[in-house]
Amino acid sequence: MDVTEDTVRDVCTDAVFERGERYLAEGRIHEIHRVDSTVTAVVSGSRQYDVRVDLVTDGFAPWCDCPYDGPRACKHVVAVLLRCVDDPPSDEGDQLDAALDGADADELRAFLREELAADADLRDRFLAQAGESTRRSANELRTSIDRRFEETNPEYDVVFEPIDFTQWFNLANEYRKQEQYRSATIVYRALIESLDDNMDRVDGAYDHFSSAFRRALDGYVDCVGARIDADTATDAVAFLDERATSGTPFLAEHFERAAAELREKVGEQACE
């Protein structure tokens, strides 16, 4: 997708576009970097906000951790996109490629292993890419997600700003590509549980959290349905039924719908 003033206008409201222009003119963009088509930046507002866009994806796949809950992209994203129109950052991908090409294989392997040993989330992503199933439980994965809620606003038990769940959705997608459906359901279940139990802390960006919940729930149902067996289906339906009665009240109908959908899939399988 070409980055032009017109395509930027397409992803935001007129009022937000004007605010983004003003933020760019005021020099509020800091630490802007580009690797291939991904641009990341820090934009100063009431505090420093992290922004990420993809220059080749339709709509630019914008992400910002500000509390904006209006339609389409926020002013911080618009400012970064307009910067890419006027003065695009240089692509650091070539530097990365050159460094990788020139690295000693044994040293690179040792470095990678050290990083993987120290970072469980990175290790999960690497093993998923290699076609390995996860050895972590939903509870273990959920701990990492819960920590994001706690870190977002450590002084208060309230979350005003969106949380980036991309790494877990990407992990689940990688397991699905490898047809590791059991591992994918574990990731989706961790997301579902964390979002359900923390939803009462959310006091802003409601659409963001609700959308993430629905995406995780749909992924869970799809992956359980992709590997239907009696025990898996029974456990999944029981989990959804339990959440429908004990979880966040306004999410109950979503759990009920998902449980009904799984029961239908089990019935279809039994008739074949």
How far apart CA 226 and CA 126 sit, in angstroms, is: 23
Residue 2 has pLDDT above 90, yes or no: no
> If we measure between CA atoms, which residue out of 210, 208, 198, 192 comes closest to residue 150?
198
For residues 37-41, average pLDDT: 97
Q: The tokens of 213 are what?
A: 């919940």
How do residues 164-201 score in pLDDT, each as one tens digit? 999 999 999 999 999 999 999 999 999 999 999 999 99
How do residues 64-114 score in pLDDT, each as one tens digit? 989 888 889 999 999 999 999 999 999 999 999 999 999 999 999 999 999
Per-residue model confidence (pLDDT) at position 50? 95
How do residues 209-267 score in pLDDT, each as one tens digit? 999 999 999 999 999 988 767 788 889 999 999 999 999 999 999 999 999 999 888 77
Per-residue model confidence (pLDDT) at position 272? 59
